[in-house]
């Protein structure tokens, strides 16, 4: 490996401190922050049965403002957002409130519809920077949005099939998405060989084979990405959309073993580790509790390979096939997460993951940042 975490070069200044906000429930934190980044979730706190979608959005953005303030930052430093909507047809209402709220320079944002959020119509996964982190923003594709945002270490962007036509196959839409991604990464000063993590959203999970064919051609050899593929969502006119994080050229990277072409079991960059947890060795009769235990066992192993552990988790997006199984998932999660190590976590239902009932996209902090070998 060209880079490693070198403890001989570490000092007290190197240690990656984690600050966790108040706990809204066992195993969770309202926000988690490292020296430079804040992770949080926005939802319509105090939602009422009669609340319109627009009102739920405004309540969610108020929750977000409050959490960002508690963490010592604000909306001007938000880098990226994944917006989950119960009904994609409500996106116009969401956009109205978003555009009034968002800073003029915009945020890298994806909107994913057709999911189950329990009592909520909208929920958002958010990454923000601390105020002293310098940010650079790409061109705006629309009010409140930007093509990409970068810090001194990373680029956050979204890939979608620009110029999609009604007859385009998933393969064609994927190629158009990668063309758009290449252009955005180039504008931001990096390239596909530096992609660290991706969440791929497909409106039909059965099209994953078509997607994978193009993905495997696209990703350079030995540049496997930490990747989750989630089906059964509503992307409007698109069959595929991707949330992408890439490192800038001078940021050290370590890629773990490859579970398949174009993928890595983890990717570390700077002080962070990206990985995916799924129920390895799943059996047809495994319930959600058993699948969750298997997923967390796999996660423990991946984190250990990367040089960290579950006490260093900062954020998780949990995808469930059936939202009614969330209480079963929560029971195992709460037993597994160490005391006082609550994670910024969103739980998204009605996701199609093939044979799995649960899958998790995970970010953890390393004890000290990766350093380039001398």
d(CA 323, CA 25): 18
Orientation angle between helical segments 326-336 and 288-306, nearest 10 degrees? 40
d(CA 232, CA 97): 26
| CA angle in degrees (0–180, nearest 5) for 330-332-336 | 110
pLDDT band at 70 (very low <50, low <70, confident <90, very high): very high
d(CA 161, CA 60): 29
Query: DSSP 3-state helix, strand, coil percentages of the chain (rounded to 5)?
Result: 30, 30, 40
The pLDDT of 231-235, averaged and rounded, is 98
Q: What is the pLDDT of residue 3?
A: 36
Three-state SS at 368: coil
Query: Does residue 372 register a pLDDT over 60?
Result: no
d(CA 129, CA 134): 9
pLDDT band at 370 (very low <50, low <70, confident <90, very high): confident
pLDDT digits (tens, 9 = 90+) for 12-68: 346 789 999 999 999 999 999 998 999 999 999 999 999 999 999 999 999 999 999
Q: What is the pLDDT of residue 39?
A: 98
d(CA 18, CA 23): 15
In this structure, what token pair is assigned to residue 90?
């409500």
DSSP 220: P
Q: What is the pLDDT of residue 373?
A: 33
What element of type H or E holds 179?
helix 170-188
pLDDT band at 8 (very low <50, low <70, confident <90, very high): very low
Query: Does residue 2 register a pLDDT over 60?
Result: no
* Average pLDDT, rounded, for the chain: 95
Contact 254, 270 (CB under 8 A): no
In this structure, what token pair is assigned to residue 42?
């926005």
Query: Does residue 182 register a pLDDT over 90?
Result: yes
What element of type H or E holds 228?
strand 226-230
């Amino acid at each position: 490996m060209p880079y490693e975490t070198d403890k001989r070069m570490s000092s007290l200044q190197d240690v990656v401190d984690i600050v966790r906000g108040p706990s809204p429930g066992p195993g969770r934190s309202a926000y988690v922050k490292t020296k430079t980044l804040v992770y949080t979730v926005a939802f319509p706190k105090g939602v009422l049965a009669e609340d319109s979608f627009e009102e739920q959005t405004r309540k969610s953005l108020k929750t977000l403002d409050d959490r960002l303030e508690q963490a010592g930052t604000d909306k001007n430093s938000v880098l990226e957002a994944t917006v989950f909507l119960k009904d994609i047809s409500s996106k116009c209402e969401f956009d109205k409130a978003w555009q009034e709220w968002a800073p003029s320079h915009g945020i890298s944002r994806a909107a994913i519809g057709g999911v189950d959020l329990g009592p909520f119509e909208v929920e958002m996964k958010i990454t923000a920077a601390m105020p002293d982190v310098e940010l650079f923003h790409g061109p705006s594709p629309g009010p409140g949005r930007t093509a990409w945002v970068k810090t001194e270490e990373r680029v956050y962007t979204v890939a979608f099939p620009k110029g999609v036509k009604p007859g385009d196959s998933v393969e064609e839409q994927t190629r158009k998405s990668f063309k758009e991604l290449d252009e955005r990464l180039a504008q931001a000063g990096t390239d596909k060989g530096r992609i660290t993590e991706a969440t791929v959203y497909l409106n039909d999970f059965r099209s994953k084979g078509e997607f994978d064919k193009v993905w495997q051609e696209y990703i350079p050899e030995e540049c496997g990405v930490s990747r989750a593929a989630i089906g059964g969502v509503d992307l409007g006119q698109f069959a595929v959309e991707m949330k992408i994080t890439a490192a800038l050229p001078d940021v050290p990277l370590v890629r773990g073993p490859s579970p398949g072409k174009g993928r890595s079991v983890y990717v570390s960059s700077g002080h962070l580790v990206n990985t995916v947890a799924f129920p390895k060795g799943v059996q047809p009769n495994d319930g959600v509790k058993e699948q969750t235990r298997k997923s967390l066992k796999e996660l423990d192993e991946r984190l250990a390979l990367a040089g960290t552990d579950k006490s260093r988790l900062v954020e998780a997006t949990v995808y469930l096939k059936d939202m009614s199984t969330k209480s079963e998932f929560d029971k195992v999660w709460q037993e597994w997460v160490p005391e006082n190590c609550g994670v910024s976590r969103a739980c998204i239902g009605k996701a199609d993951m093939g044979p799995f009932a649960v899958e998790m996209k995970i970010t953890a902090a390393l004890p000290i940042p990766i350093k380039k070998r001398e």
